[in-house]
Amino acid sequence: FTRLYPYQALRTMFRECDFAVITVPLTPQTRGMIGASELSALKPGAFLVVIGRGGVVDETALLEALQDKRLGGAALDVFAEEPLAPTSPLWKAPNLIISPHIAGLSAHYDERAMALFAANLRRYIQGEKLFNLYEPERGY
């Protein structure tokens, strides 16, 4: 990295971005964190990719930014409500790629999932803390 930005400087960072990839979990702090003001801070013609969790991006504001051609395009793998309703106006949005919540899949997914399961099974049997535990206070 050449520069890191704190959350409070999101709009400042967006002014520098040709591409913004949103990967954050959905928590009370991140719900709606990308709204009209953040989208308007992106460079004209920038692209937004959302692969974290639905509900982080204000879909109405995104639709308006795409329709007004302020963004070059977007790709959404997650939505506030899934599956995306057939009547959603996002289906007709210009320059939008929609995928069915599969961004995390790879040719290695099953192998990696089984390795994690086996490691956690060993840890469970040995009384050790498991990997990837849900932390309610963090929301993920």
Q: How many residues in total does the chain contain?
A: 140
Catalytic residue among 82, 112, 122, 128: 82
70 is catalytic: no
Question: What does DSSP assign to residue 34?
Answer: B
101 is catalytic: yes
Closest residue by Cα to residue 51 from 34, 36, 70: 34
Contact between residue 27 and residue 54 where contact means Cβ atoms under 8 Å apart:
no
Catalytic residue among 11, 31, 70, 101: 101
Residues 6+ apart with CB under 8 A from 50: 21, 22, 34, 56, 57, 74, 75, 76, 77, 78
Point out the residues that are catalytic: 53, 82, 101
